[in-house]
Structure 1
């Protein structure tokens, strides 16, 4: 099953401004270049290095509450389309030529979502609609438009 990378976003500090980019490097130790969440802390597991959200899930959640909001307001790093990548910890997401991400857990929506628009947290809650978190297991350069493939991991 092949999909496509539709967007890349990063933020350099908690609650900092979101920057969307067309391409960047993703490393095992640092995650997305320029994103504060990617650095693995000493003794840490890096379970939250990269966050992903499916376009269909974001569209459904915002439609449910009757608003149009840019996907990056979710503060996710990667917007993906055309794949079923969530609801299974241990799934491996391959983006572009080299990058491999291991899905570690659901990205539960926080109360900040209701600061963006009332009801958004609830709309993002069912069925991993809020996205997934991942750890980088193979580094790589990614670009908007890159193909995405799914593997099932052995974690």
Structure 2
């Protein structure tokens, strides 16, 4: 597994800003991201493979940031059995807490996107930060637990 991309938004409904690297902490989530307060949804992660399936279903080649997730990863397809497992990216440790349910806002970006993200956890996962760490594009990722 590998970290392909990083994005934040400074406030609700703001455009996503991509980064090459970012500090992620228990207190603030991704540095600069408005949603980073402590809790079960500090960081959202999207699988490139699952995003590709959703895009194929709606016959569109969309940028991953349309999903409005924080991290894009490759080499994994998320599912319900992963809840409670840990994701390690360098020193950063994230706890998988739940599915990241796609909201109707997805259809504002592209018609049919909400429905295409619904099956099989295609919309990604939500995580809580357990241990702080700086991450950068290209970092290797492990799922443990």
CA contact (8 A) 2:78 2:124 kept: no
Which 5+ residue runs of structure 2 have no aligned equivalent? none
CA contact (8 A) 2:43 2:126 kept: yes
Partner of 2:83: 89
Partner of 1:7: 5
- TM-score scaled to structure 1, two decimals? 0.90
Out of 18, 24, 27, the residue aligned to residue 25 of structure 2 is 27
Which 5+ residue runs of structure 1 have no aligned equivalent? 41-45
Within-5 A mapping of 1:102-141: 102-141=95-134
Whole-angstrom CA distance in 1 between matches of 2:78 and 2:141:
10
Kindly report the root-mean-square deviation, in angstroms, between the aligned alpha carbons of the 2 structures: 0.9
Whole-angstrom CA distance in 1 between matches of 2:85 and 2:121:
14
Whole-angstrom CA distance in 1 between matches of 2:58 and 2:101:
18
Out of 34, 37, 56, the residue aligned to residue 35 of structure 2 is 37
Q: Deviations over 1:8-55 (max 9, x none)?
A: 000010001110000010001100000011122xxxxx1010000000
Partner of 1:67: 60
Partner of 1:17: 15
CA contact (8 A) 2:100 2:126 kept: yes
Deviation at 1:85, TM superposition (A): 4.2
When residues 9 and 150 of structure 1 are mapped into structure 2, their CA distance, relative to the original with a 3 A threshold, is: same
Q: Deviations over 1:80-110 (max 9, x none)?
A: 0012444221010001x20000000000100
Q: What secondary structure sits across from 2:12 in the alignment?
A: coil
CA contact (8 A) 1:73 1:116 kept: yes
